[in-house]
Amino acid sequence: MSVVTQASPVAAEQAAPAREWRPPSYWPFVIPALVVVLAVIIFPWVFTIWMSLQEWKVGSPTTFVGLANYLRLPTDPRFVEAVGHTLSYTALSVLLPLVFGTLAAVVFHQKFAARGFLRGIFIMPMMATPVAIALVWTMMFHPQLGVLNYLLSLVGLPPQLWVFNPTTVIPSLVLVETWQWTPLVMLIVLGGLAAIPTEPYESAQIDGANFWQVFRFITLPLIMPFLFIAGMIRMIDAVKSFDIIFAITQGGPGSASETINVYLYSVAFVYYDLGYGSAIAVVFFLLIVALAALLLYLRKRLLWTSQLGSEA
């Protein structure tokens, strides 16, 4: 009751004459969803934390081992390597879509024929089924028959091994990730561009600023908050990226593209070491939260908060 009154003071005022009539609360609307959320989101989390404290392998009895699973992590070379792969994959998969997405947004902010339709085409990569896309990219990466090496040969570059070479596998996967997720950055920045007032542009035109100056000193500072949100979302998705990596390389060659998520899959569902897998899941989640916190801190430090939307 009190919640309702707080929520809509207007309603309280209007209902004031009829004091005896008490509006029923909104809780019944939320309860079914609450049950579902408890069952499929909260319960798994609690259970995961509990499991991470057990030695729990499918088919053998479980024993409580305290923090042993967590202590095993820093001494597990495959896990440490996976953290490195995840961080480099994430850094590239945040930066490149941010750059290309901003450029694309500046273009889509202009008026031209069939803009809506072309925007629909442009966002197709991120809506398409990732596994289907991964399959075609795998064919395109093929060293002998792939179309990418043919395209390289057209511009006089030597053929590459792409995802079949440990040193180029992560950049190649980032290429797919960038192709796939640049549209999301574009959409968020486009929303930011739409919110910019026209006055600064008019005065810049009077002052004779060129295109680059306008972009650098007016557009960029004004869309910074949106770039930040886009970067945050991109970071969260890139860290968790699974479908593309798993379908194209399964973490290979060797373990050259094994990220935390792919390693987690192997531990939990190939080796069925569920206790250790749960510990990885918990640490993985904390890593994502830590990265998000770091981005928030950086934003504070760089004083972009005074701009438009600070609701990240």
Partner 1 sequence: MNLRYVLGRIGLWLSVFVIVSPAILFFLWMGSLSLKFEIDNASYPPVFFPEHIAWKNYADVFASNRFLTYFTNSLVVTGCATGLAMLVGVPAGYGIARMAAHKSAIVILIARITPGLSYLIPLFLLFQWLGLLGTLVPQIIIHLVVTVPIVIWIMIGYFETTPLELEEAALIDGATRWQVFRHVALPIARPGLAVAFILAVIFSWNNFVFGIVLAGRETRTLPVAVYNMISFDQLSWGPLAAAALIVTAPVLLLTVMAQRQIVAGLTAGAVKGG
Residues 191-210 that bind partner 1 (CB under 8 A): 191
User: According to CB under 8 A, which residues from 17 to 56 bind partner 1?
Assistant: 23-30, 32-37, 39-45, 47-48, 51
Both structure tokens of 294: 């770091």
Residue number with CB closer to partner 1 (10 or 303): 10
Q: String of b and e for 199-230 (b: at least 16 CB within 10 Å)? A: ebeeebeeeebeeeebeeebbeebbbbbbbbb
Distance in angstroms (rounded) separating the CA atoms of residues 135 and 124: 16
Any contact of residue 10 with partner 1 (CB under 8 A)? yes
**Shortest Cβ distance from residue 39 to partner 1 (Å)?**
8
Residue number with CB closer to partner 1 (39 or 80): 39
Residue number with CB closer to partner 1 (44 or 74): 44
Any contact of residue 135 with partner 1 (CB under 8 A)? yes
Say which DSSP state 57 is in.
Answer: B
Residue number with CB closer to partner 1 (218 or 292): 292
Both structure tokens of 243: 């479908």
Residue whose pair of structure tokens reads 């259970």 in the numeric block? 47
Residue number with CB closer to partner 1 (9 or 167): 9
- Single out the residue of 145, 155, 206, 303 in contact with partner 1 (rule: CB under 8 A): 145
The contact mask relative to partner 1 for 240-259 (x = CB under 8 A, - = no) is: x-xx--xx------------
Any contact of residue 261 with partner 1 (CB under 8 A)? yes
User: According to CB under 8 A, which residues from 104 to 133 bind partner 1?
Assistant: 104, 107-108, 110, 112, 116-125, 127-133
Hey, what amino acid is at 309?
G
Distance in angstroms (rounded) separating the CA atoms of residues 312 and 301: 15
Nearest to 262 by CA among 275, 130, 248, 88: 248
Distance in angstroms (rounded) separating the CA atoms of residues 182 and 97: 4
Residue number with CB closer to partner 1 (66 or 120): 120
**Shortest Cβ distance from residue 123 to partner 1 (Å)?**
6
DSSP bridge partners of 63 = 55
Both structure tokens of 167: 């040193």
Number of residues this chain uses to bind partner 1 (CB under 8 A): 96
Any contact of residue 159 with partner 1 (CB under 8 A)? no
**Shortest Cβ distance from residue 188 to partner 1 (Å)?**
6
Q: Is 268 helix (H, G, I), strand (E, B) or coil?
A: helix
Hey, what amino acid is at 24?
P
